[in-house]
Chain A
Amino acid sequence: MDPKGSLCANNCTRSSALTSPGNGLQTNLSSDPPSFYGIRIESPFKELNPPSPPTHSVLPCESNTDIEIPDQENCPLSDSSHTSKLQDWNPSAMLNNLSFLEEKIYQLRDLVHLIVNKKCQPFGQPHELVTQEQQLITADLTSIIVQLISTAGSLLPSVRHTLTSTNPLVGQLDQLHGINLPFGSNPSSGIRPQNNSGNKPFDQPNQNGLPNNVEMEQNYNMEEHEPKDEEDVDEGENLPPGSYEILQLEKEEILAPHTHFCTICGKGFKRDANLRMHMRGHGDEYKTPAALSKPHKETGSEPKLIKRYSCPYAGCKRNKDHKKFQPLKTILCVKNHYKRTHCDKSYTCSRCHTKKFSVMADLKTHEKHCGKDKWLCSCGTTFSRKDKLFGHIALFQGHTPAIPLDDSKAVAEPPDLQNRESSNMVGGSMNFSFGSNPSSENVVQNMMDMKANIDDPMNYFSSFNFDGCNFGFNEFSQLPFEDSEGSFSFLMSGSFNYAPKFGGGESSSDNI
């Protein structure tokens, strides 16, 4: 659990988490339902601590099959082990936790804002309402903070996770550079150093900027940001043609799940670092620190030529033969571009079942927002932001904000349900159920609700008409009273010896 662990140790951890799928622990993890926050609070600790001790007991060869599985999903660049681990570790719950946290932090901020403003008032505002509201706010605040802390606690292991995953990025990139070597698309021998230098501008921000962001917002899904960042940068770039070297990878290379292969057994890896970890199993010569350490970047002596990439798809704007050719900046861009534009969208959102993506990271980005924060207009249009919805409503006549159903249900349903439940009960059995189940919160309320159920308009219309209102009047005044009397007698006999007093109560109530 040492966050400062070396790359090697990190890799060990990762593969260890991977290589132990059969030991029952892993299955526990994956089968853990994305549940309620309250339940999640404790569990991540339990789940994630155990895999760490066997860090060094890894046998690389065993992991073969396991690693293949995520690879088949064609995870673009995102290291496969990483994703699979995430899945085991129940990312959807994590997602829930995060969005919950986000929401709470917003609320908290608003509240604190309110409080700050109120504290500014001089001579303490004798206004009663103000103090009342302040108490209210502080109560809300406390509850929010408690929720925040508990939810944040459930995220704690993911912090460790982030720390481990920031380093692999480097390896990942290295790996990318190495991509060219085996396939030899560029026969020039200096490709490796060139790649390094060419990727510098991209490498740097990722290592410095991203990890922090990632830690703050989305501790697990860092690769989401990469493609977007890069392509944004790419759009604005206007390099004169000829000032850079154009590389074009073949379709197979782009879609290849693995880019690093073991020279001994032929097993493929997405990352060089993983390959190096794997190599340790092939002999002691691979266990030397030199062999394990990251092959350091050799700074090439020759003048660095900027590298840009071309899409292999003919007719694409990103293809070097296109009239208005716009080069792609990195291999990552090439991969994402190719999949997004020229491949089938094979990933379907599990929430809405309509949106499809060809890049896993895109799907995840979408899933994070899918169904949540949908600001819905009565015309059916959805908005990701509330102000956009309100702008829309202000603009169009007759459009109105649509209140989400679960909200209205939360308000409208429970009493009805209670009514129905209690109205199903028979008077006699009701008392019995009270006695046998004293802990149920709504017992008396149910009883009352049954009475309220009589007010139900349906009942009016069915049982008697308005002209028979005298009858209705009788019904109304009598029922509640009998009801209360019944419950009272129950109380009397059951738990208290009020029997002598009850007589008095009855006589007086008769006179009402």
Chain B
Amino acid sequence: MAPFVLAALESVLPHIVLHHMSSALDGERDSFVNYHNTLRISSYEFRPYMSFSLFPKPTQQRKQKTFPSLFRDHPKRQRSKAKRSSAMKKQKRAQQQNDTNPFELLSEELMFVILDFLETAPLDVKSFSLTCKRFYCAEAKHRRLLRPLRAEHLPALAARYPAVTDLDLSLCPRVGDGALAFVAGAYAATLRRLDLSRSRWFTASGLGSVGAGCGNLVELDLSNATELRDAGAAAVARARNLRKLWLARCKLVTDMGIGCIAVGCRKLRFICLKWCVGIGDLGVDLVAIKCKELTSLDLSYLPITEKCLPSIFKLQHLEDLVLEGCFGIDDDSLEVDLLKQGCKTLKKLDISGCQNISHIGLSKLTSVSGGLEKLILADGSPVTLSLTDDLSKLSMLQSIVLDGCPVTSEGLRAIGNLCISLRELSLSKCLGVTDEALSFLVSKHKDLRKLDITCCRKITDGSIASIANSCTSLTSLKMESCTLVSQEAFVLIGHKCYYLEELDLTDNEIDDEGLMSISSCSRLSSLKIGICMNITDRGLTYVGMRCPRLKELDLYRSTGITDLGISAIACGCPGLEMINTSYCTSITDKALFSLSKCSNLKILEIRGCLLVASIGLAAIAMNCRQLSRLDIKKCYNIDDSGMIPLAHFSQNLRQINLSYSSVTDVGLLSLASISCLQSFTVLHLQGLVPGGLAAALLACGGLTKVKLHLSLRSLLPELLIRHVEARGCVFEWRDKEFQAELDPKCWKLQLEDVMQ
């Protein structure tokens, strides 16, 4: 980390400053690094019971922590103020003595430039701010985005970060009116974006204070505020400058509420009303009448009819219209005369799931919108000749999504014959896609960048060959469960489509030869080869050697993979962020040891890897500090000794699944020290007693979701459950039977049975 900061420094600092610093830098580069490392190590707390044989105590323990990380919940943080201030004084004195500190010479602007460069690496920013007091201040002044885990910390955060414009409270388990009122007071002038999606407990009065207080608020996300009523909507309407508003799933808001918003927020450009089932024609109509500047309108699943469409089509700037699942709109009621006035600007139209709109209605809707670029017709009417006739009028069309539509060969051929050149085509789960039609289509649209043929079960090698031959510039190909495609076809893909970045081959016949060929796509960043029984370590090694940009790898139930393959990936793909080796039963701790080299690993799923033990997990915990999601369900060999290092090192862990493992109370309780932890699933944990669970539930202050077995409900005190719920946690009680693990072949057979 530190060398990176230095490199950043060197790249941006003017030579004059560098000259001033040069002497210091020469001598101090090493000390800078050392100092820095010291701080990093010291920022992890060591607890008495942590003297665990696996982890020798670091020698450089520092008793006093100078820079608290405020994102975490440390109740013990309230060490006496005096102690801290005396420490500060000591530091000050040290600084006065050492006037040659080169960091003092950096101007604030330069530091801001450096910080701009570090924006994509939050950990580096943290290191930067821990370097010295000035850097700490500079970083605090520079920070624009804040995503706290607890609303209770807002006062401290607001004092430290005065210039925040984006506030994301969606991770806080409980955001009360008080917190919102505080935000409105602290960031009255600066706040531009507030995210309350998934936040709960706030009411109209809290929203009212934000709406009235934050005059510069431009974006507000209230998705999933299922308790929000019209009064809340009226409070939102006080934010006059709002440009973007998300109200998805605000089911209790009615026409009256949205009417207030329409009148209050006249500058709205974007509004999402998905699932607001209380809003009908009148409300939508008023929105379209009052907010003339709308460019994007999402009306999915609203009980609206054609009555509100004329005013929508009068909007002069509308570019994106989503009418997904609006069953009230049908062909007959659409009148061309009413729609004639406008929407020449429309670029994206989504009428997926509108059963009552056939090609006739579509042609009416698009009759004026000649500039349409993207058309989403998923789960709609059959793709026939008449539908494609309508498409031929759209000269700007680049992308068509036909997921789940019944498709005829004539329809596909007609799409092929369109005089436009498509960039994106999605035929996922379309019934009736044949080799012949698909081959013809792709041969005409050679410029395709993204193609989705998931579950087109009839296609064979022929289609793949023409795809590979014609669409050489493909960047994304998804072909899960194209089971008739033979092993040879995948070799072709690798030979022709060099630019692939995203490839989904789940549940296909691909073998090592295919993987070897595909490994020549050096830009590959996401590779999904789950349920591919024919691949082994040999194929995966090619990928590991030749695809250094790989970030996501899915090996779910690809049982031929062992430690060797994983270690090849771990060596070759240092940027790996997500790996799924669930049910790859040959995987052992060695694989985890090698994976621990991938320091960017965020998501690790090793469900059902029976041979993996705690020590492997400990290695991951120690080295993959960014780990945020972990699934060790059915890893019977992982016990408390795996949890303790996890609790100690993986301070970014948000979500964990412990079902069926050998973890007991001790492990669960130690996890409670991870202040980020928001969600855990604990089903069929043999060693868990209700008392331990209760203690863990109380200790984890930031929990938002817990999945437990139903039988535990009666064993936990009712008051405890209510208490934890009141802190913002949602319990999901599951009544699943204890399942013994099937052997892989048996699972595959079962899957085939289900499919037939």
Given A443-B719, A454-B178, A477:B204 Cβ within 8 A: no
**B201 close to A (CB within 8 Å):** yes
Q: Is the interface of B mostly helix, strand, loop or mixed?
A: helix
Q: Is A445 a contact of B356 with CB atoms below 8 Å? A: no
20 contacts between A and B (CB under 8 A): A121-B353, A133-B275, A386-B282, A390-B286, A394-B286, A403-B230, A403-B234, A444-B725, A455-B179, A456-B181, A457-B209, A471-B81, A472-B155, A473-B155, A476-B152, A487-B720, A487-B723, A491-B720, A501-B665, A510-B75
Say which residue of B179, B204, B665 sits within 8 Å of A504 (CB atoms).
B665
CB of A386 within 8 A of CB of B255, answer: yes
A290 at the binding interface (Cβ < 8 Å): no
Q: Decide yes or no: A113 and B231 within 8 Å by CB, A118-B327, A469-B155, A476-B152 being known contacts.
A: no
A400 at the interface (CB under 8 A from B): yes
Assess whether B672 is in contact with A393, with CB atoms less than 8 Å apart: no
* B232 touches which of A411, A471, A500 (Cβ 8 Å): A411
Q: Which residues of A contact B692 (CB under 8 A)?
A: 501, 504
Tell me which residues across on chain B come within 8 A of A403, comparing CB atoms. 230-231, 233-234, 256-257, 260
Instruction: Name the residue of chain B whose CB is nearest to the CB of A115.
Output: B327
Contact status of A466 and B259, CB under 8 A, knowing A444-B723, A457-B182 = no
Residues in A neighbouring B234, C-beta threshold 8 A: 400, 403, 408
- Give the residue among A118, A416, A476, A487 with the most B Cβ atoms within 10 A: A476
Considering residues A386, A401, A410, A460, which has the most beta carbons from chain B within 10 angstroms of its beta carbon?
A401
5 cross-chain pairs, A with B, having the tightest CB-CB distances, nearest first: A455-B178, A505-B695, A117-B327, A408-B231, A501-B691
Pick the contact of B689 from A110, A443, A452, A501 — CB < 8 Å? A501
Q: Which of B494-525 contact A (CB under 8 A)?
A: none
Please give, as numbers and ranges, the residues of chain B lying within 8 Å of A455 by CB-CB distance. 151-152, 176-179, 181-182
Residue B675 at the chain A interface, CB threshold 8 Å = yes
Give which listed residue, B231, B275, B282, contacts A407 with CB less than 8 A.
B231
**Closest residue of A by beta carbon distance from B45:** A511
Which residues, 451 to 503 on A, are CB-close (under 8 Å) to B? 452-457, 460, 466-467, 469-474, 476-478, 480-481, 484-485, 487-488, 490-491, 495-496, 498, 500-502
- Beta-carbon contact of A504 and B47 below 8 Å: no
Contact B720 A488 (CB under 8 A): yes
Among B78, B260, B726, residue most surrounded by chain A Cβ atoms (within 10 Å): B726
Query: CB of B147 within 8 A of chain A?
Result: no
CB-CB < 8 A to A484: which residues of B?
A: 698, 723, 727
A129 touches B379 (CB 8 A): no
Q: A386-B255, A477-B77, A512-B673 are in contact. Are A504 and B695 (CB under 8 A)?
A: yes
Q: What residues make up the interface of A, taking CB atoms closer than 8 Å to B?
A: 110, 113-114, 117-118, 120-123, 125-127, 129-130, 133, 375, 386-387, 390, 393-394, 398-401, 403, 407-408, 410-412, 415-416, 434, 443-445, 447-449, 452-457, 460, 466-467, 469-474, 476-478, 480-481, 484-485, 487-488, 490-491, 495-496, 498, 500-502, 504-505, 507-512
Q: Mark B666-679, 1 if CB is under 8 A from A, else 0.
A: 10011011010000
Min Cβ gap B648→A in Å is 10
Q: Which residues between 47 and 96 of chain B lie within 8 Å of chain A, taking CB atoms?
A: 47, 49, 70, 73-78, 81, 84
Known: A476-B153, A508-B695. A113 touches B303 (CB 8 A): yes
Known contacts A460-B155, A472-B155, A480 near B695 by CB under 8 Å: no
The answer to whether A133 touches B727, judged by C-beta atoms less than 8 angstroms apart, is no
A407, B719: Cβ atoms under 8 Å?
A: no
With a cutoff of 8 Å between Cβ atoms, the chain A residues found around residue B230 in the complex are 403, 407-408
From B156, B328, B353, B665, A476 is in contact (CB under 8 Å) with B156
> Do A120 and B327 touch (CB < 8 A)?
yes
Nearest CB to that of A110 among chain B residues? B303
- Which residue from chain A places its CB closest to the CB of B672 in the assembled complex? A508
Nearest-CB distance from A388 to chain B (Å)?
A: 10
B282 and A434 contacting across the interface, CB-CB below 8 Å: no
Known contacts A400-B237, A505-B669, A509-B672; A466 and B229 CB within 8 A of each other: no
Residue of B nearest to A501 (CB): B691
The interface residues of chain B lying within 8 Å CB-to-CB of A129 are 275, 301
Least CB distance from A470 to B in Å reads: 6
Question: A512's contact among B70, B73, B259, B719, by CB below 8 Å, is which?
Answer: B73
Bound-complex Cα distance A510 to B48 (A):
12
Q: Given that A121-B355, A480-B152 are contacting pairs, would A508 and B303 also be in contact in the complex, using a CB cutoff of 8 Å? A: no
Shortest CB distance A186–B (Å):
55
Chain A CB within 8 A of B730 CB: no
Determine if B289 is an interface residue (Cβ-Cβ < 8 Å): yes
Q: Are A457 and B181 in contact (CB under 8 A)?
A: yes
CB pair A478–B155 under 8 Å, yes or no, is no
CB neighbours of A386 from chain B (8 A): 255, 282
CB distance from A10 to the nearest CB of B (A): 45
Quick one: which of B229-259 are within 8 Å of A by CB? 229-234, 237, 255-257, 259
Most buried by A among B84, B237, B725, B727: B727
Question: Whole-angstrom distance between the alpha carbons of A498 and B73 in the complex?
Answer: 26
| Contact A496–B727 (Cβ < 8 Å) | no
* Most interface-central of A129, A410, A449, A455 (chain B CB within 10 A): A455
Residues in A whose Cβ lies below 8 Å from that of B277:
114, 133
User: How many B residues touch the partner, as a band?
Assistant: 35 or more
- Residue from the set A122, A443, A453 with the largest chain B CB neighbour count within 10 Å: A122
Closest to B307 in A: A387
Asked if B413 is at the interface (CB within 8 A of a chain A CB), the reply is: no
State whether the Cβ of B687 lies closer than 8 Å to any Cβ in chain A.
no
Give the chain B neighbours of A398 by CB distance below 8 A.
263
Q: Closest CB of chain A to B428's CB: distance in Å?
A: 11
Q: Are the CB atoms of B701 and A512 closer together than 8 Å? A: yes
On whether A399 and B285 interact (CB within 8 A), knowing A412-B203, A491-B719, the answer reads no
A415 in contact with B177 (CB, 8 Å): yes
The reply to whether the CB of B574 lies closer than 8 angstroms to some CB of chain A is no
| 19 extra A-B contacts, CB within 8 A, seeds A127-B353, A133-B277 | A126-B404, A394-B285, A401-B259, A407-B230, A407-B231, A412-B203, A455-B182, A473-B77, A473-B153, A477-B73, A481-B75, A484-B698, A491-B694, A496-B691, A504-B669, A509-B75, A509-B699, A512-B73, A512-B74
List of A residues within 8 angstroms of B49 by Cβ: 507
Instruction: Give the docked Cα–Cα distance between A429 and B210 (Å).
Output: 35
Cβ of B233: which chain A residues have Cβ within 8 Å of it? 403
Chain B stretch 265-288: residues in CB contact (< 8 A) with chain A: 275, 277, 282-283, 285-286
A322 smallest CB distance to B (angstroms) = 45
For A502, give the chain B residue with the smallest CB separation. Answer: B695
A393 touches B263 (CB 8 A): yes
**In the complex, chain A residues whose CB is within 8 Å of the CB of B182:** 455, 457, 460
A390 with B255: in contact, given A455-B178, A472-B156 (CB under 8 Å)? Answer: yes
The answer to whether A466 touches B255, judged by C-beta atoms less than 8 angstroms apart, is: no
A436 vs B563: C-alpha distance when bound (angstroms):
60
Rounded to whole angstroms, the CA-CA distance of A319 and B248 in the bound complex is 63
A412, A478, A490, A502: the one contacting B204 at CB < 8 Å is A412
B545 at the interface (CB under 8 A from A): no
Mark each residue of chain B from 365 to 379: 1 if its CB lies under 8 Å from any CB of chain A, else 0. Answer: 000000000000001
> Which chain B residues lie closer than 8 Å to A412 at the CB level?
203-205, 231
The answer for the CA separation of A452 and B692 in the assembled complex, in Å, is 27
Q: Does B159 contact A (CB under 8 A)?
A: yes
Query: Which residues of chain B in 212-232 are interfacial with respect to chain A, using CB atoms and an 8 Å cutoff?
Result: 227-232
Min distance, Cβ B71 to any Cβ of chain A, angstroms: 12
B290 touches A394 (CB 8 A): yes
**Whole-angstrom distance between the alpha carbons of A239 and B12 in the complex?**
99
Residues from chain A with a CB closer than 8 A to the CB of B78 are 473-474, 477-478
Q: Which residues of the other chain, B, contact A390 by a CB distance below 8 angstroms?
A: 255, 259, 282-283, 285-286
The answer on a CB contact under 8 Å between A444 and B726 is yes
Bound CA–CA A412/B203 (angstroms): 6
Complex interface: chain A residues within 8 A of B20 (CB): none
Complex Cα spacing A504 to B689, Å: 13
Minimum CB–CB distance for B454 against chain A, Å: 12
Contact A400 B285 (CB under 8 A): no
B734 interfacial by beta-carbon distance below 8 Å:
no
